[in-house]
Structure 1
């Protein structure tokens, strides 16, 4: 950015316009760099996970849906990425066209809702794949949760393709309704499924919490804070999915920043919940093994 501003302020417009292009190329090269530097194993694991997310043709693992869930918080980032690439391709970088509501890369572009919906589509396909493998109906309800984001995105995009009266009388109320459904459903799923706080049982009685859990947030007020803040931020995050509300860039930046906080909070509790499941599973296996050992000893003694 410093190079861009310096070159642009000194009249080197073409060189300034090359800076974003070079930045995108450098990031891509670093990701696929085949030599054992820049954390080769982590880079390739990340790329392999992205491939599995985009093409969920194999059984879904924890990293697959974990990263895919995080990508849903980056829908706005994907939208901005599409717009940036569009402007680079059409040579609208470092020119007055960047500030104009042009007809190529403007908010009305059909590519914007398509890019916004991609992370939710990937997560939906993962849920369907999980249902195919496990036959658990919970996977279908989870798929339904991600499908509720589709109306929010596409109804918002309709504002640029219908007359104002039609938007105000029909599509705007439908957009508001779909936003409420998406926010409430997502909030319910976070609390009852992803965090396993159904009935607030974990607030009033910890079920064998781990040492790390107690160390970081083993107090009851943390759970109240997590539930309340998650509800507020889930509702405000709909702002990001709606292209027709994204003209106030400061507000959009604030919403995106808050979503980063909400997602980090979600990750913390989601990993703890998964760890507790694994721990409980290990305890149950140990107890079963102990019972089998006692039964075997008794049988030997009888013989």
Structure 2
């Protein structure tokens, strides 16, 4: 047996696929906790920026004029001061949920290691250990008992339900949640492979054979996160209040992922029986068949399109934005950090601010819709006028996003996983994808904060806004609410719980 194959078998014996899946799942929980923690450390109210408080009836106060706005410690025009929980109450429970998850996972892996003792011959004898562990964690996820972060588990399940069936409004938190899950597409497919390995006839040392119709189960599972995100974009585009074509263009971006996934699955048949398609010889067949070239073209289109969308629309940079006019004064001073008035922002998406005079110096041009093109002026370094993070972070993030986007095809291409010597490489790529998405969340939320600030800066003070289309342009993405409508709508969006209903009745009496 060759040394590389022996090393891969040893890797699969010590760290089999079911444990790798559980590890990446826990990494996602930790990444979300650090995202919330990091946003709070940067002075951004994560609950308001992500509309998290909108979906939590237990956070609503009996304040008749605060329902339409995120919780904020700043004074309002009518209701006086409002008290909100410390930001740690947002990310603290997620950390605790992760620690519970990590303890259970480490105990299960320790039991597996003690039973097998790195002996390849004992791996399949004790393959029931990761199976029992996965079943136990699934039962904990849906457990009705108030243990192991029940509130956070319920939020997670409720977010899945909302992403799958919401038809009237797509919340920004749902967009971020669904985008994060697109980075778990390969992990979702690995869950199916793990089940096949654990069942009788399977082995933890080798990937299970996918024959007949079963070979389409893996790509179908991997395409679910992209189908969910595709559906969200179509819902936004079909809204009567939508005036932008941007959600449609975003839907096309997610649609380009399906050819990559399913063309890759089709190539498994070619790899299994090259003579079936007229390929001769014992050497590598890649590049010899039109199916591979079509897959390569679709992967390149999706990767470059996704990178362009990340930089231009998800992060709001001007680096790759197409302009009809060019400004002669494109070189200037580096962008300055955002400075907000201390007591005039009703959303208080940033926890800190400067004096009014400083805020006046920062006049921000709003991003226009399709019928109102943005000014032709390019901002320094191809970024934007308002930056909340240190300047070196942005070129680093753009470079990392480009490199990891180009590895997207390997991450989602199931035909590359038919070779055992790819286990460690694929696991490493999945880990890097988690890191890329973790970084993406910071810049995506930052741009949403800046975008809403630009819209509010152009409106009279005290105007009530509601985000109605996260993927639309700035003008099309927000709507102004009337006094009565804002209070009624916010309660309806909070859910049908008893607390929200009682709160609404109290508002009507007032």
State whether TM-score is above 0.5.
yes
Write out aligned runs for 1:240-259 (5 A).
Answer: 240-246=411-417, 247=419, 248-259=422-433
Alignment of structure 1 residues 10-21 onto 2, 5 Å: 16-21=126-131
Q: Is the 8 A contact 2:196 2:208 kept in 1?
A: no
Q: For 1:270, which of 444, 459, 466 is the aligned residue? A: 444
Which residue of the other structure, out of 134, 137, 143, is the alignment partner of 1:27? 137
1:191-248 per-residue CA deviation (whole Å, 9 max, x = no partner) reads: 010000124799943473677899x963322211111111111101221011122231
* Structural mapping, 1:1-303, within 5 Å: 1-9=109-117, 16-88=126-198, 90-92=199-201, 97-100=203-206, 102-103=208-209, 109-133=215-239, 134-162=242-270, 164=274, 165=279, 168-199=288-319, 204-206=334-336, 208=338, 218-246=389-417, 247=419, 248-287=422-461
Structure 1 residue 104: deviation in Å?
5.0
Q: Which has the higher helix share?
A: 1
Aligned to 2:43: none
Q: What CA distance in whole angstroms lies between the structure 2 residues aligned with 1:203 and 1:222? A: 17
Q: Structure 1 residues 125, 183: closer, same or farther in 2, change over 3 A?
A: same
Shift of 1:178: 0.7
Return closer, same or farther for 1:12/1:190 CA change in 2, 3 Å cut-off.
closer
1:106-165 per-position Cα deviation (integer Å, ceiling 9, x unaligned):
9x8221111111111111011001111125310000000001111111111111224533
Residues 175/272 of structure 1: CA separation in 2 closer, same or farther (3 Å cut): same
In structure 2, distance between residues paired with 1:257 and 1:61:
28
Give CA-to-partner distance per residue, 1:86-107, whole Å, 9 cap, x none.
Answer: 233x3246xxx4435654589x
Q: Deviations over 1:45-76 (max 9, x none)?
A: 11010112233434211121111000000111
Query: CA 1:37/1:158 → structure 2, altered by over 3 Å: closer, same or farther?
Result: same
Q: What is the deviation of 1:34?
A: 2.1
Label 1:141 to 1:41 Cα distance change in 2 as closer, same or farther (>3 A).
Answer: same
Unmatched segments (≥5 aa) in structure 2? 1-108, 280-284, 321-329, 341-349, 354-386, 464-510
Q: Is the 8 A contact 2:170 2:232 kept in 1?
A: yes
The aligned residue for residue 92 of structure 2 is none
Distance 2:334 2:257 in 1: 33
8 Å Cα contact 1:148-1:178 kept in structure 2: yes
Range moving further from structure 2, 115-124 or 133-142: 133-142
TM-score normalised by the chain length of structure 1: 0.82
2:363 alignment counterpart: none
Higher relative contact order (CA 8 A, sep 6+): 2
Secondary structure of the residue aligned to 1:196 is coil
SS class of match (1:19): helix
* CA gap 1:213/1:83 in 2 versus in 1, 3 angstroms: farther
Counterparts of 1:83 and 1:280 in 2: how far apart (Å)?
47
Q: Is 2:237–2:247's contact at 8 Å kept on the other side of the alignment?
A: yes
